[in-house]
Amino acid sequence: MLPALPILWNGAILIMTFPWKYYESDAAKLLSELIREKPQIAEEKTKGLTLWWDRKLDADQLRRAQDSEVKQQPYVYQTKA
């Protein structure tokens, strides 16, 4: 086996000990294959994100939500003494 040789890159010396190999998990493969087969999924994803996240907050609704919050004790499972 040959020793790792230093490589010059932008004036710096890099030592490559292991060859880099691209890895793609099974889940990533499944998702990329699914998007290739059904490109309309990207549009549906955008619609879903818009439905839940891209909306204006009403000041009154925000105040009511903050007022209706129930205070929680620091450690939930400890009984009150």
Element spanning 60, H or E: helix 59-67
48 domain-assigned: yes
The number of domains in the chain is 1
The residue that leads in pLDDT, 68 or 71, is: 68
Element spanning 26, H or E: helix 26-37
pLDDT value, residue 18: 66
Instruction: Please check whether residue 7 is in contact with residue 13, taking contact to mean a CB–CB distance below 8 angstroms.
Output: yes
Lowest-confidence range among 5-14, 54-63, 68-77? 5-14
Q: What is the CA radius of gyration of the chain?
A: 27
pLDDT tens digits, one per residue of 12-58: 665 656 666 788 899 999 999 999 999 999 899 888 888 888 778 78
77 domain-assigned: no
Q: 0.95 cut: is pTM over it?
A: no
5 domain-assigned: no
What is the extent of the structural domain holding 31? 22-56
